[in-house]
Chains A and B, each alone.
Chain A
Amino acid sequence: MKNDFRMQYPLWMMGFIIALGMFTYGISEPTTKVINTEMEQSIMIEIGSVDGIFAVGSVILYFLMLAGFSYQLMRHNKQNPTQKIPFISFRPPEYLEQDEGMTYITRKASQKVYTFMSWSLPILAIFAMFSPLPRFYTVWGILLVALIQYVIYYLEIRKHFKEETQ
């Protein structure tokens, strides 16, 4: 069960969020130069060296992770033909709902995430409205909330399976 892809799914999502956070940092302060003359029309975007490493590196990291994620997903679907996970789904595939015991654990984890969301989103909204910091920090705030929700969910599920194996 611990090797079940649905158990690992939150870890993959955390990885993708971190890659997106790195990309956000990389493109946070590009220099934009617009040339609009009779002879030339062009837009030049200049990214600093450190920012560039983050921007390009995060894109490479993202695609490497996407390849690994796709491979694991296909392997899961091959091994579990009755419990296939679609590549894109509105319903979070990390829900464990094979029976009432699994549904109970999923509900407990989801309740903890909901509790976290119920106070973190209003705080983030207030921060976004009144903070003098650049928009980039708000994006990071959203990504941080998304990351923490997966951490909460994963730790709660893992706790039950850890206890079970002891």
Chain B
Amino acid sequence: MEVIKTEGLTKYYGKVTGVRDLNLSIHSGEIFGFLGPNGAGKTTTMRLLVGLLRPSAGKAYVLGKDSWSKRVEIARDTGYLPGETRLYARLTGIEHINFVAGFGHADRSFALKLASRFELDLNRRTEEYSRGMKQQLALILALMKRPRILIMDEPTSGLDPLMQYLLYEILNDFRDNGTTIMLSSHNLPEVERVCNRVGIIKDGSLVAVESIEDLRNKRIRNIEVTFENGIPPQLETIAGIIEIEMSANRARIKTSGNLNPLIALLSKHRISDLSISHASLEDVFIEFYEKGRDEPYV
């Protein structure tokens, strides 16, 4: 069942394009990652979905309802985390929770449990909060409705690794309870960790929608290896290598897909140094989406 759907969704800010002709479909119970560099249109799409922005053209539907004209009905079933955490500076954490609970459709005691999991002090004014604490409170405000849909713009922004891990756990709990989650990020490993499917947006247009499995197969890694006894000649013949740069005993390799053949070859030689890093999202765009999807990349 489709719970979020857009049809030719377009938003212009004057002459600037926010998103253009976006066709998206997110199904019940999935965690959908919305990937793209800064300014790609992720935040605009999310604001359109929760009825904060009015589409210039096209339509967005959440739970089958028009996101602009039925925004209040949608808000009852949707938790929204804005991209930039802005809270009422003079209110304390608990006053924020009481305020959101006061609109109904939210569970105050659940919010307190979440605050306890985040170990967040609710008795301080938010002007005294660190960036991470503000993000935690904003997350609690979005989650406390126990919504059917969660729309979260960069949810791990400002969180330390421990809190990020806790958030992933919480999101998995929500998904297990049937919540559909759409989250944006510009961090590929994060999206791989929690999402089922990914939409990639660039310059306001959706360039691809992939399952995580497909994305993993396409994943680019940068490997730098230093051999003790020279570079083996078979290295260049390994499948999946996109680019290789060799100097003396050191090889810089850009590869995608299955790493096992490369590892098997490396295991047969003495190595003095090895580093593997994930390519940046920009590299993924350049390799897969700017060259054109049908173009072979090996």
Check if A and B associate. Answer: no
Chain B residues within 8 Å of A, Cβ to Cβ: none
Chain A residues within 8 Å of B, Cβ to Cβ: none
